[in-house]
């Protein structure tokens, strides 16, 4: 895009790299503005009990409504929020907004839904997380057991001792902890041994392999069983078809989330899903 090129007065040899870098640099500039202008919002994706279809909670998912580009994928802008350090400020807003939403649903008489919030490793390592969580709970008066914090394995690889202390404190406060995207990275079983997770979220690559790969199906069944043996709740991510849901149900996976069950959407879309 011509407008983009004007912002950066040099070019990289490889046109593809050049374009990607330009887009990145422009988005980075735009992100600083986005924070001030309130261009972020949260979508909520329901999680269901697979046995009876009851909704048990939602996951809050960050969205950025860019004035020219439209809604930008979090896969693209969350790494930029992390690189710029803005994730700390935005993360605080996410936590507060999600908790306030859950509390509002309580107040409206909905059954108590669990609110799952994704944490960036930077938020956990930044030092201010415990205080932020306490402030959010105090401000919103959300019962702590309704809050679930999702972290990914990369965090555990990076700083074992420091992370462990923080996660144990959160657990002691009565907050639930979920291990996100399990099986997508270099999963080590020692993490499950060492950390107090309540929930195991099985990465969607395993769910997409149902009916495709015997080996992956075998792994999936083993992960579900392991979660059960550890008294963890297992959530299957990325359920898109009835066949996948049926397979997971048949193999004892308790909870599920995916486009086939419900897409992420605005808060108004959640209450109607509770009645049917």
Chain positions contacting Mg ion, by CB under 5 A:
118, 150, 180-181, 237
Q: How far apart are CA 54 and CA 273, in angstroms?
A: 9
Residues 111-150, interacting with ligand C2E (CB under 6 A) = 118-120, 150
Residue 259 binds ligand C2E (CB under 6 A) = yes
Binds ligand C2E by CB under 6 A, chosen from 6, 13, 75, 161: 75
What is the 8-class DSSP label of residue 240? -
Binding partner selected for residue 238 from ligand C2E, Mg ion, none, CB under the kind-specific 5 to 8 Å limit: ligand C2E
Give the nearer residue to ligand C2E in terms of CB position, either 192 or 245. 245
Which class for 38: exposed (0-12), middle (13-18), buried (19 or more C-beta within 10 A)?
exposed
Q: How far apart are CA 68 and CA 45, in angstroms?
A: 26
Shortest distance (Å) from residue 212 CB to ligand C2E = 15
Q: Are strands 40-49 and 55-66 parallel, antiparallel or unpaired?
A: antiparallel
Three-state secondary-structure class, residue 49: strand
Give the nearer residue to Mg ion in terms of CB position, either 181 or 233. 181
Residues 1-60, interacting with ligand C2E (CB under 6 A) = 45, 60
Q: Is there a contact between 60 and 116 (Cβ–Cβ < 8 Å)? A: yes
Q: How far apart are CA 247 and CA 107, in angstroms?
A: 36
Binds ligand C2E by CB under 6 A, chosen from 31, 55, 78, 223: 78
Task: Give the binding range for ligand C2E (CB under 6 A) out of 5-13, 29-37, 245-253, 256-264.
Answer: 256-264
Give the nearer residue to ligand C2E in terms of CB position, either 95 or 137. 95
Binds ligand C2E by CB under 6 A, chosen from 50, 55, 62, 86: 62
Shortest distance (Å) from residue 66 CB to Mg ion = 21
Residue 265 binds ligand C2E (CB under 6 A) = no
Q: How far apart are CA 67 and CA 265, in angstroms?
A: 20
The 10 Å CB-count burial string (b at 16+, else e) for 146-162 is bbbbbbbbebbeeeeee
Shortest distance (Å) from residue 237 CB to Mg ion = 5
The answer to whether the Cα torsion of 192, 196, 198, 201 is positive or negative is negative
List of long-range contacts for 77-80, beta carbons under 8 Å, 24+ apart: 77/27, 77/31, 78/120, 80/24, 80/27, 80/28, 80/31
What is the 8-class DSSP label of residue 265? B
Binds ligand C2E by CB under 6 A, chosen from 57, 183, 256, 258: 258
Task: Give the binding range for ligand C2E (CB under 6 A) out of 4-12, 49-57, 186-194, 238-246.
Answer: 238-246
Binding partner selected for residue 264 from ligand C2E, Mg ion, none, CB under the kind-specific 5 to 8 Å limit: ligand C2E
Residues 197-226, interacting with ligand C2E (CB under 6 A) = 204
Query: Which residues contact ligand C2E (rule: CB under 6 A)?
Result: 45, 60-62, 73-75, 78, 94, 118-120, 150, 180-181, 204, 237-240, 257-259, 264
């Amino acid at each position: 895009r011509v407008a983009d090129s004007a912002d950066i007065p040099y070019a990289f040899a490889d046109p593809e790299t050049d374009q990607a870098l330009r887009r990145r640099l422009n988005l980075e500039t735009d992100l600083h503005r986005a924070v001030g202008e309130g261009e972020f919002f949260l979508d909520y994706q329901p999680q269901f009990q697979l046995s009876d279809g009851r909704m048990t909670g939602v996951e809050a998912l960050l969205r950025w409504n860019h004035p020219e580009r439209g809604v930008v994928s979090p896969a693209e802008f969350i790494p930029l929020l992390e690189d710029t350090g803005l994730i700390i400020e935005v993360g605080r807003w996410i936590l507060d907004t999600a908790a306030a939403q859950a509390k509002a649903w309580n107040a409206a008489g909905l059954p108590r839904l669990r609110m799952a919030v994704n944490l960036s490793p930077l938020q956990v390592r930044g030092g201010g997380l415990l205080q932020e969580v306490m402030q959010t709970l105090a401000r919103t008066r959300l019962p702590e057991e309704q809050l679930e914090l999702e972290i990914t394995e990369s965090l555990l690889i990076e700083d074992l001792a420091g992370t462990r202390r923080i996660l144990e404190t959160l657990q002691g406060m009565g907050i639930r902890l979920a291990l996100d995207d399990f099986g997508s990275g270099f999963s080590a079983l020692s993490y499950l041994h060492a950390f107090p997770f309540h929930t195991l979220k099985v990465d969607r690559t395993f769910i997409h392999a149902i009916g495709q790969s015997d080996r992956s199906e075998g792994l999936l069944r083993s992960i579900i069983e392991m979660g059960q043996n550890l008294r963890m709740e297992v959530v299957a991510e990325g359920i898109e078809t009835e066949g996948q849901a049926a397979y997971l149900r048949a193999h004892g996976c308790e909870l599920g989330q995916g486009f086939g069950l419900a897409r992420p959407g605005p808060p108004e879309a959640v209450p109607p899903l509770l009645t049917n």
